[in-house]
Homo-oligomer: A and B are copies of this chain.
């Protein structure tokens, strides 16, 4: 099957998208690193833990919630534990399992970082878009997620 190349319009759309997501992620990462001293991805881990009953989630579930591989999460939680933000406990119902638990210190740090983060998301994303664009962005994102999460797409470990 011959390659269907991108036409001029598609090319510019693609580049605009790459550019926007890189700029946005980099910006939020920088802000989070400055405000809380942790990368944005680590903040998301704390958020997910804070939303869970007893602030505890099993590693595998937490990996899914934060869109990350197990290895990545394992390294991340190790670092967060070292910072005193998270503790690890054996899972009572499965000898293989590990529970990650948010500590009070972690919760405090999360609480301190949250306003700045939300302001960043608003300023750099939502405030730049109309209500209709926000709705569109959600549908677009969901379509991409639905596709890439199908098992038929190779890759994800």
A residues sitting closer than 8 Å to B (CB atoms) are: 3-6, 9-10, 12-14, 16-27, 30-31, 44, 67, 114-115, 118-119, 121-122, 124-129, 133-149, 153, 155-156
- A12 to B142 Cα, complex, angstroms: 10
- A155 to B22 Cα, complex, angstroms: 13
Report how many copies the assembly holds. Answer: 2
Complex A-B: 20 CB contacts under 8 Å: A3-B114, A3-B115, A3-B119, A4-B122, A5-B118, A6-B118, A6-B122, A6-B126, A12-B138, A13-B141, A20-B141, A20-B144, A21-B25, A23-B67, A23-B148, A30-B155, A124-B144, A124-B147, A128-B144, A133-B136
- CB proximity of A72 to chain B, nearest CB, Å: 10
Contacts of A156 in B (CB 8 A): 26
Inter-chain contact A118/B12, CB cutoff 8 Å: no
Cβ contact of A20, chosen from B14, B26, B118, B145, cutoff 8 A: B145
Inter-chain contact A129/B143, CB cutoff 8 Å: yes
Contacts of A134 in B (CB 8 A): 10, 13
